[in-house]
Amino acid sequence: MHELLIATHNPGKRREFAAIFDGLGLTLRTLDDLGIREDVEETGATFEQNARLKAEGYLALSGLPTLADDSGLEVAVLGGAPGVYSARYGGVQGPAQLQYLLDQMQDVPWHQRLARFVCVIALARPGQPTQFAHGALPGVIELAPRGSGGFGYDPLFYLLDYDQTVAELPAELKNQISHRAEAARMARTILEQW
Ligand code: IMP
């Protein structure tokens, strides 16, 4: 039985990965399972760099093959912002962050509000180069928030194919189509080769 450290404190993320990695014969551990309290700082300028920093940092701390992900929102008209700064965009959190994003896009017309959620997963193991998996979900930044599901920017992220914001989608559907799910499926094919 092989162990894989999922470098997160979030039990929800472990559940999402467990569903997608089902049948691989992996035992998934989280940082809390292993009692790892150190934080590897996300000082990178890209999602890849941050995912690599975390995967290699927690591999060094645990000795276990490690998966780390980094994700965020990229808005085309903002030059890809908030990007790696998504969690602390505008120096605010929660609903104030949605308002901050709307303020940045006040005069931007609907057809120029293209955005995408991005997820990069890094997989690190001893003595081998770190490998990467990518996922993206395209959408449009809404003019006002709608819906109560999900987290982060979900209430402002409108999906053309569903005519709903991500916060209006059932959680199971989000977990099938999300940037994280896409990257996790690609990570699964990498893990199958290990
Ligand atoms: P993390 O990589 O999971 O730490 O996510 C970084 C930030 O990106 C979060 O704090 C959110 O602001 C944003 N983000 C990432 N994924 C999602 C998502 O699925 N919905 C909404 N916001 C997201």
- Residue to mutate, 101, 151, 157, 178, ligand 1, most ligand atoms under 8 Å from C-beta: 151
**pLDDT reported for residue 182:** 98
Q: What is the arithmetic mean of pLDDT over 172-189? A: 96
Average pLDDT of the chain is: 96
- pLDDT of 29 higher than 80: yes
What residues act catalytically?
70
Check residues 95 and 80 and name the one with the higher pLDDT: 80
What is the per-residue pLDDT across 31-82, written as a single tens digit (0 to 9) for each?
Answer: 999 999 999 999 999 999 999 999 999 999 999 999 999 999 999 999 999 9
Q: Percentage of the chain surpassing pLDDT 70?
A: 99
Q: 147: alpha, beta or left, given left = phi > 0 and alpha = psi -120 to 50?
A: left
Q: What pLDDT is stored for residue 13 in this prediction?
A: 86
Percent of the chain exceeding pLDDT 90 equals 94
What spacing in Å lies between the alpha carbon of 188 and ligand 1's midpoint? 21
**Architecture of the domain delimited by 3-193:** Alpha-Beta Complex (3.90)
Name, in order, each residue with C-beta under 8 angstroms of 143's C-beta and a sequence gap of 6 or more.
102, 110
* Domain positions in the chain: 3-193
Read off the pLDDT of each residue in 174-189 and give the average, rounded to a whole number.
Answer: 97
Whether the predicted pLDDT of 94 surpasses 90? no
Over 90: is that where the pLDDT of 144 sits? yes
135 pairs with which residues across the strands? 119
Cite the beta strand spans of the chain per DSSP E: 2-6, 26-30, 66-75, 114-124, 131-141, 157-159, 164-165
- pLDDT of 78 reads 98
151 touches ligand 1 (CB under 6 Å) = yes
What's the mean pLDDT in 106-127?
Answer: 97
Residue nearest to atom 14 of ligand 1 (CA): 72
Say whether pLDDT at 1 is over 80: no
Tell me what pLDDT residue 11 has. Answer: 85
Ligand 1 lined by 168 (C-beta under 6 Å): no
Cα Rg of the chain, angstroms: 17
d(CA 178, CA 182): 6
Q: Which band of pLDDT confidence, cut at 50, 70 and 90, is reported for residue 10?
A: confident
The reported pTM is 0.96
Dihedral, CA of residue 68, residue 192, residue 127 and residue 180, to nearest 10: -10
